[in-house]
Amino acid sequence: MSEVIAAVEGGGTNFNCALFDLEGRLLVRQRFATAKPKATIEQCAAFIKQSRRGSRIIGAGLACFGPLDLRRGSSSYGAILATPKPGWESFKPKASLEDALEVPVSLTTDVGGSALGEHHAGVARNTEDFVYITVGTGIGVAAFLGGRLLEGASHPELGHCSVRRVAGDSFLGNCPFHGDCVSGLASGPAIEARWGKRGEELPPEHRAWDFESAYLAQLCTTAIYAYAPQAVVLGGGVMAAPGLLDRIKIKLGKLLGAYHDTFVVDAAGAPRVVAPGLGGDSALYGAFALARSELER
C-alpha cells in the first residue's frame, strides 16, 4: 500500500488542499472558499480522503493564517488568536484537521509554510538564511535561519511593525489592531481602502506604487536588520503588480546605505530581493515539506 501526505494551506479567502507522494510529487489538488471554520476543515478532509484512492495517508501539514498560538506548552496551542475574521477566533484548525483525518498534523503559519516551500522546492533551495514576506490580504513575515524556521516563544509578526509615513499619504491605515502599521498601509485591502480600487486596477504609473514600494522597502530594511538574511523573497498577490519588485529594490538599496554590503547583495551589488519560485503554491509545498520532515523525526 503506497503512502501519501496531505497538505493544506489555510487562507482567509481560500483553503488549498493537496496530496503528495513521499518524493514530493503533487498528486491531486483542490481549492475551497473559506467558510465557517469546522465546515471548511471538514470539506478539506473529505476531499483528501476521497482522493487518496488506495493509498494510506500517513500525516498532514497545515499552513494556516493567524495569528496562531505557537507557544510551546500553551493550553491554547494551535488556536487562532485575535482575528477580525468572524467565527475563527479561538478555533483550533490543527486539532480539527487531526480529528477529521485521524493522522498527526504539523502546523505552521501561512507565511512560515511559504518560506518552507520556497526552501524545499522554490527559489531558496540553496539558501539557509532568508526572509519570506507575503503581501496580500495582510502582510506576513517569516524568517528561515540556519536551516530552520524562526519561532521564538511564538511566530514573528513583523508585518505589524511601524513604518514612516511617505509625504502626502494621509490615509489613516486599516489595521484593526494598529491602524497605520505596515499591514494597515500596504496590504491589498489597504490599497483598496485608500484608492477605492483594487491594486490590479491601478496602472503602473499610479502614485499608489510610490507609496507601496516605499513602505515595503522599509519593511524589507527592518527585516534585514532583524535577521541578517542572505536573501528576501517577496510574494503574495500585491507583488504581482508590474515593476513593483524593482522599485522596492531601488529604495531598499538607498535605505540600507553603508550597511548594504553586509547583507543581501547579489553579484552586481544589488539587494537580493526576489520573487517566489513556486508562485501561489509556496505554502502548499511548505505544508507538505513540514509534515514530511516531522514524520521523519
Binding region for a copy of itself (CB under 8 A): 67, 69, 71, 81-82, 129, 143, 145-146, 150-165, 177-178, 218, 221-223, 225-230, 257-259, 261-264
- Residue 81 Cβ, how far from a copy of itself at the closest point, in Å? 6
Give the nearer residue to a copy of itself in terms of CB position, either 20 or 144: 144
Give the nearer residue to a copy of itself in terms of CB position, either 69 or 294: 69
CB-CB contact of 40 with 34 (8 Å):
yes
Compute and round to an integer the Cα radius of gyration of the chain.
Answer: 19
- Residue 160 Cβ, how far from a copy of itself at the closest point, in Å? 6
CA distance 187 to 193: 10
Strands (E), the chain: 3-10, 14-21, 26-33, 56-64, 105-109, 130-135, 139-145, 148-149, 231-235, 273-274
Give the nearer residue to a copy of itself in terms of CB position, either 125 or 259: 259
- Residue 150 Cβ, how far from a copy of itself at the closest point, in Å? 7
Give the nearer residue to a copy of itself in terms of CB position, either 59 or 66: 66
Classify residue 169 by burial, with Cβ atoms within 10 Å: 0-12, 13-18, 19+.
Answer: middle
- Residue 155 Cβ, how far from a copy of itself at the closest point, in Å? 6
Strand partners, 175: 179
**Cell digits of residue 147:** 536551516
- Residue 225 Cβ, how far from a copy of itself at the closest point, in Å? 5
Give the nearer residue to a copy of itself in terms of CB position, either 59 or 78: 78
Chain centroid, CA 260 distance in Å: 25
Mapped onto helix, strand or coil, the DSSP state of residue 36 is coil
**Cell digits of residue 49:** 480522503
